[in-house]
Structure 1
Amino acid sequence: MFKGKNVVITGGTRGIGRAIAERFNSLGAKVFVLYASSESQAKELESKGIVTIKCNVSKRDQVIEASKKVREITNNVDVIVNNAGVMYTMPFEEFDEEKYRRMMDINLNGTIYVIHTFLPFMKERGGVIVNIASNAGIGTSAVGTTFYAITKSAVIMLTRRLAFELGKYNIRVNAVAPGWVETDLTVSGKSPEETEKIKQWFRDRTVLHTTGRPEDIAGIVTFLSSDDAKYITGQVIVADGGRIDYLTHSL
């Protein structure tokens, strides 16, 4: 499906990002993964023919340097997937400015830096941008996610605005808003018992009574990036098992 296509994915060594990278790779794309850490996982991806570039997307100079390394291999990028993200949970009354700024720097600013820097690779022949947001950015009741939700709602608005601005270049811009997906990010530092308790909390709030897998999100991303979705732009695809705890609406 993606033979001859070049795909740039941020945060692609673990979790959802890795599943996306491996899915594109299996479908014939030339995949470039930008990552901030996880050296061993990066080497595993390289063994599969995926190009990995160390880059903290919250640092604009590093994103520019990463783009130069991509340019050494190709002048065209067909798909950009902004997956890099970080999440801290904290009640509003326990506001931690450092954690909030880090979420904003990576989740939102990193997305802006990557799109702005790699846009010249796409302008001549068009392309696709897929941003990984979160259903938190639409308004769920998950405790302690207010500040994380702010960053992801900003990603959703960025997605919609860029669909307007970049359509003239035949660039489609969409987002995926996952519900709870079991990854290193969501279970880090938790015991198996704590993880199971969290999973049950989310199961109880979905009509499918289940939680997500990274592969569930990867399939949506490749669909949005394919010609099967060539008439879709400015949309947010919510993949959360049918959450029923939204602030103003539910399934």
Structure 2
Amino acid sequence: MSGQSDKSAIVFGGSGGLGAGCVRALARDWPVIGIVYHNGRERAEALASDLPEGCRGLPVQCDTTNSASVRAAVEAVVAQGGQLGCAVYSAGIAIDQPYISEISEDQWRAVFEAETIGFTRMLSVVLPMFRAQSGGNIVAVTSMANTRVIIGDTISAAPKAAIEALCRGIAKEEGKYGIRANTVAPGAMNSGLGEQYMAERWTPQFWEGFRKSIPLRRFGLAEDIGEAAAFFASDRASYLTGQTLIVDGGYTL
């Protein structure tokens, strides 16, 4: 393990496809990881039991639309795992891919509430902790659709664009306290919602054409995102802050 060996990490959305990839990758460097879930208790518990020796997973229920719930989740991990060194945000809600003209105010509100405002709720808890201990880092999972526009994906991309802006602001404002903030932007993924889309939407021919449009000729896996998040969360990235790493096989080129 690296210099995080005496601290804990927390992953919001840790029971989801990409979040679980982050948990598994972080397990190499962090001795305790809070696996925050909303409805995926069984998945979080199964993941916790499957982590390698030397890393303890702590399943914690949380509703990111509720400030008290977010605070309680963070405090539960600190109480059981000790000082918090890293917070990863991969939480989100299941959404369709409507045109912007078709999105209702309630739909916009639901996505921003769970994702963007949920992220700010986490920040309000962890930033004071990180300041007090003179260090800590934040990693958010966002979207490559902020770089290359995908028709129908704006309802997902817009709240994540706000999260990227927040991370750049944190990098600028909090760097003097030893706090870093970076984002990982997935491309087309064969995990999480991406896996569901591939199974339920459009034709196999569509997805084969999409795959061939990616320079590396494959869809991304949860571990691809996990590896990027674990790098940002580690001492190996100690001089990186305010950055977005696009993990998309070259699709946005």
- Scaled by the length of structure 2, the TM-score of the pair is 0.88
From 159, 177, 190, the counterpart of 1:169:
177
Report what 1:234 is aligned to: 242
Say whether 1:85 aligns with 2:87.
Answer: no
Deviates more, 1:186-195 or 1:26-35: 186-195
Contact 1:19 1:218 in 2 (8 A): yes
Q: Which residue of 2 aligns with 1:35?
A: 37
After the TM superposition, which residues 95-174 of structure 1 pair with which residues of structure 2 at under 5 Å, given as runs?
95-123=103-131, 124-140=133-149, 142-174=150-182
Question: What is the SS of the residue equivalent to 1:139?
Answer: coil
**CA separation of 1:198/1:19 partners in 2, compared to 1, >3 Å: closer, same or farther?**
farther
CA distance in 1, matches of 2:108, 2:200: 27
Offset, 1:203: 1.8
Query: Relative to structure 2, which stretch is displaced further, 88-97 or 15-24?
Result: 88-97
Distance across 2 between alignment mates of 1:80 and 1:108: 15
Counterpart of 1:79 in structure 2: which amino acid? Answer: C
Cα 1:171–1:214 change in 2 (3 A) is same
Structure number with higher relative contact order (C-alpha < 8 Å, ≥ 6 residues apart): 2
Q: Is 2:190 the counterpart of 1:188? A: no
Q: Which amino acid aligns with 1:227?
A: D
Gaps spanning 5+ residues in structure 2: where?
Answer: 51-55
Q: Residues 192, 67 of structure 1: CA spacing in aligned structure 2 closer, same or farther, 3 A cutoff?
A: closer
Q: Would the alpha carbon gap of residues 29 and 202 (structure 1) be closer, same or farther in structure 2, given more than 3 Å must change?
A: farther
Aligned-pair Cα RMSD in Å: 2.0
1:183 positional shift: 1.8
Q: How many residues get paired? A: 244
Following TM superposition, by how much is the alpha carbon of 1:193 offset from its aligned partner in structure 2, in angstroms? 7.8
**How far apart, CA to CA, are the structure 2 residues paired with 1:133 and 1:226?**
19
**Structure 1 residues 191 and 22, CA, compared in 2 at 3 Å: closer, same or farther?**
closer
Q: How far, CA to CA, are the matches of 1:189 and 1:217 in structure 2?
A: 18
C-alpha distance in structure 2 between counterparts of 1:12 and 1:103, whole Å: 18
8 Å Cα contact 1:187-1:195 kept in structure 2? no
TM-score of the aligned structures, taking structure 1 as reference length = 0.89
Q: Is the 8 A contact 1:55 1:63 kept in 2?
A: yes
3-state SS of 1:43 partner: helix
Whichever residue aligns with residue 132 of structure 1, its letter is: V
Which secondary structure does the structure 2 equivalent of 1:58 belong to?
coil
Q: Tell me, in whole angstroms, the C-alpha distance in 2 between the residues paired with 1:116 and 1:83.
A: 17
Q: Which runs of 5+ in 1 are unaligned?
A: 245-250
Q: Which amino acid aligns with 1:27?
A: D
Change (3 A) 1:197 1:13: farther
Rounded Cα–Cα distance in structure 2 between residues aligned with 1:181 and 1:25: 22
